[in-house]
Amino acid sequence: MSGANLGFRYSSIYEKRGVVIYRDFQIDPVISLFFFDDRFAFLGDSLDYQEFIFKDQIRFRTKVSIISDDPLLPAYESVKENNPDRPNTYEWSNGFDFYIPGYNDNYIGEAELTYSKDLRAHLGNYFNLTTKFKLFSFTTLNTEVEPNFVGSIGWGDRAHNQYFYGPNDHESGLTDYAYGFWMAFPGKADRHYPIMQIMRFAVMGNSHREATYAQGRNEGYLISFIATYPVLD
């Protein structure tokens, strides 16, 4: 084991691919275990592997994660009323990160292309493109901080969209987008993880926005941050 962190993640709202799942804040425990020089990680709800395949410019990522509508803390029944209640499932995601000009020195930005495959509930497919651009950097409390502008867009096939947006969604196509600001702490955490973010999100297209699970809950704002303490470094 190369490292272990304990902490929590605060989210002002619980959303997934543009749909508000729970209309209240969430506090989730964070248990992170890292192996093999941080290439392999257990992050509580996912099992991740990542490896640079070309210098520090291209990185391959793969992970298996749990997809669930169940809020953790808090989970008020009055808030959960009329929420989407889809069966839990597992998703396998594979992707490539392209860093400009590289992850380490003179980092300017990156593009992440990810393909996700459902493994149990619907067997659908989803693609996501995320881009990040560093605005500037500064140091505070001996920690380097990088504010980034972030934008993302997703595409899902019919099976995916019926699971995420509603059984009356019969179309494949662009599904959701998000944009906002993302604070990276490259000396403390991998750039891939959203340590602090302020994001605007929404579902795209009337067939998706008006589907059963998305109707009336198809856009919003998210503020989140992760606070952890290393127990093994």
| Residue-range definition of the domain harbouring residue 88 | 3-232
Q: What share of the chain is helix, strand, coil (3-state, %, to 5)?
A: 5, 55, 35
Give me the CATH number covering residue 38. 2.40.160.40
**For 25-78, what is each residue's pLDDT tens digit?**
999 988 888 888 889 898 888 999 999 999 999 999 999 999 998 887 877 776
The pLDDT > 90 percentage for the chain reads 76
- Secondary structure of 204-222 in the HEC alphabet? CCHHHHCCCCCCCCCEEEE
| pLDDT confidence of residue 121 | 96
Residue closest to 89 by CA, chosen among 52, 113, 120: 120
What's the mean per-residue pLDDT of the chain? 93
Total structural domains in the chain? 1
Instruction: Give me the mean pLDDT over the 121-136 stretch.
Output: 98
Neighbour-count burial for 158-169, b at 16+ CB within 10 Å, e otherwise: ebbbbbbbbeeb
**For 169-217, what is each residue's pLDDT tens digit?**
999 999 999 999 999 999 889 999 889 999 999 999 999 999 999 999 9
| Phi, psi of 77, rounded to the nearest 5 degrees | -65, -35
